[in-house]
Structure 1
Amino acid sequence: MATREVPIPRDPTEDEAFALFKAVEDKFPSQTLGDDKWYVLLLAAIVGGGQPGFAPLLYGELIERPEYQTSEQRQALMRRLRETLFKLIVIVGVCKPLEAIFDIDAITRPEDKDYTFSREDWQCDEANAKRGAAWQGRLYQHDQQGIDDVLASQKDFDWTSKQITYGLYLSDHNILNDVETELTVLSGIMIQNLPRETAWHLRGTRRIGVSREDVETLQQCIELVASFCDLRLHKVPRVADIEHEV
């Protein structure tokens, strides 16, 4: 009986990665959202999309720019990249972000290493729960009750969502602000072709003030990364599909 070999997909090249970086930066709505956010979306999508090995290429490209010519500037950049990857843990799991961290660290100059610990004083306490609930409230508003009703019989998921997903990871905006955090979440979810959660975070991105036109452009940026990663995003909605819920 003949066996069928599973085809091995072709890995993208570095030249293709550089072309992707430029395409995303050019398309990203920097005039309205700021010119320091495109790489947050790109990093979250490319790592979540299964290509964490290109994270150090992005880091190397960024530190060649004029705004990152001192160790202090590169350390600040590292904190932003690390926070993106840290928040991505709760969206895609720990292994892909960890792979990216190891690869980035391997090319980081000793003087550029950043030894700060952003959550050193974190506690799983009432203040943590309130902070997480406040951020959930901005994103979900009246829709939160429907989620709570479902999770009433799934207590472990309810606790994890409130104390860990939002309390520990997503409500901390000390390094990445609210829009940057939601860029990370939306990219990490959409790149997995998840329709329900993508709809929630298209809606959430609109609710924190990003325009309908910009959200559509963000989705187009994520689609560029999906094509690079050889992924299909055929199940996810678009901002026009959820606009009536905003």
Structure 2
Amino acid sequence: MSSSPQSSMSPLIATPAFLTTLTALFPANSTLPNPALWVAGIVFAAHSLPSEVAEVYTHAVNSTTCAEEKKNTTRVFREALFKTGNLYGAPRMINSLLEVRKTMDVVGVPDEAGYRDHDMPVEKLNEAGVKMFNHTYGEGAADTRELLRGVHPDFDYFMMSLIYGPINAFLGVIDAAQTSIAMIAALIAIEAPLQVGWHEAGAIRNGASKEDVEAVKQIAEKCLMRIKEAKGEKMKS
């Protein structure tokens, strides 16, 4: 017998009260817009909980006061999930964004045309990817790229031309600091502490404060803990 991926997770875990608690964890004096809800969306998406993602998105949209704010909230929410799908898995990203797309019709937010230049030559994508990667990794960029080449001979090229170039380096919806924050959320969700450390430093290089980063980690960890509690699992130490 088939069952929904969330059949064992009922009742809802992304409750309004829980989401309000998450929102309060991000520093009110930060220069960044509060990312708590899309951070939560990333964690739920990473754990194949698309209905929970839709609940988070609905809460985010319902927290706005006008049509333009709803559109912007939707852009940012979708972009955050899109930018991190290569970390937690494209099928999970697709399933979550499909639920968000359905919910957009319910809450009255129209779809939009693509944001990126779909005709950009691969050389330009590679150039943009290298620039973004170098800025994110700073003095460690060369060593990290060498590590990527050691993983697989094509992996460095793949990361620069197919991930960092067309996906991460596009800053028209969320900026570099927000992009790094999104990466941290996804990496916490899949429990990859080594890479979390890399992107903590990258987030600060890209404009986030240490307080911003610590708050995002706390938000993502609380979401992960809530998911594990609902599944009867334990957090990794």
TM-score band (shorter)?
A: 0.7 to 0.9
Q: For 2:9, which of 5, 8, 11 is the aligned residue?
A: 11
Aligned match for 2:135, one of 130, 135, 138: 138
Q: Deviations over 1:72-114 (max 9, x none)?
A: 4323322212211211222111111111111122232375221
Q: Does 1:152 align with 2:149?
A: yes
Q: Any residues of structure 2 matched to 1:226-237 within 5 Å, and which?
A: 226-230=224-228, 234=236
CA separation in 2, counterparts of 1:33 and 1:13? Answer: 36
Q: Normalization by structure 1: what TM-score?
A: 0.81
**Is residue 78 of structure 1 aligned with residue 69 of structure 2?**
no
Q: Match of 1:182, as an amino acid?
A: S
Q: Alignment RMSD, CA only? A: 2.4
Distance in 2 (CA, whole Å) between partners of 1:148 and 1:63 is 39
CA distance in 1, matches of 2:169, 2:116: 12
1:97 has 2:93 as partner: yes
Q: Secondary structure at the match of 1:119?
A: coil
Partner SS for 1:118? coil
- Following the alignment from structure 1 to structure 2, what is the Cα–Cα distance between the partners of residues 214 and 51? 26
Match of 2:27 among 20, 26, 29: 29
Residue of structure 2 equivalent to 1:116: 113
Structure 1 residue 124, shift from structure 2 partner: 4.4
Point out where structure 2 has 5 or more consecutive residues left out of the alignment.
1-5
8 A contact 2:23–2:34 mirrored in 1: no
- Alignment partners' CA distance in 2, 1:30 and 1:124: 41
CA distance in 1, matches of 2:87, 2:14: 26
Residue by residue, what CA displacement relative to the aligned partner does 1:26-82 show, whole Å, maximum 9, x if unpaired? Answer: 111242143442222222222123322212112222222343x32x43233222122
The one-letter code of the counterpart of 1:234 is: K
Q: Percent identity?
A: 17
Secondary structure, counterpart of 2:187 in structure 1: helix
Shift in CA distance, 220/36, structure 1 to aligned 2, threshold 3 Å: closer
The answer (yes or no) to whether the contact 1:182–1:201 under 8 Å persists in 2 is yes
8 A contact 2:48–2:96 mirrored in 1: no
Q: 1:77 to 1:215 in 2, by over 3 A?
A: closer
Residue aligning to 1:200: 198
- In the superposition, relative to structure 1, how do residues 124 and 200 fare at CA in structure 2: closer, same or farther (>3 Å)? farther
* 1:152/1:103 CA distance change after superposition, 3 Å: closer
Unaligned runs of 5+ in 1: 1-7, 236-246
Q: Secondary structure at the match of 2:154?
A: helix
User: Aligned with 1:31: secondary structure?
Assistant: coil
Q: Tell me how far apart the structure 2 counterparts of residues 98 and 130 of structure 1 sit (CA, whole Å).
A: 28
TM-score by length of 2: 0.84
Task: Measure how far apart 1:234 and its partner are.
Answer: 3.3
Count of residue pairs the alignment pairs up: 226
Closer/same/farther in 2, CA of residues 16 and 108 from structure 1, 3 Å limit: closer
Map Cα deviations across residues 121-140 of structure 1 (whole Å, 9 max, x no partner).
Answer: 24342221121111111111
Q: Which amino acid aligns with 1:126?
A: E
Alignment of 1:56 onto 2:54: yes
* Conservation of the 8 A alpha-carbon contact between 1:30 and 1:38: no
Work out the CA distance in 2 between the residues paired with 1:141 and 1:151: 16
SS in 2 for 1:112: coil
Where has structure 1 moved over 4 Å in runs of 4 or more? none
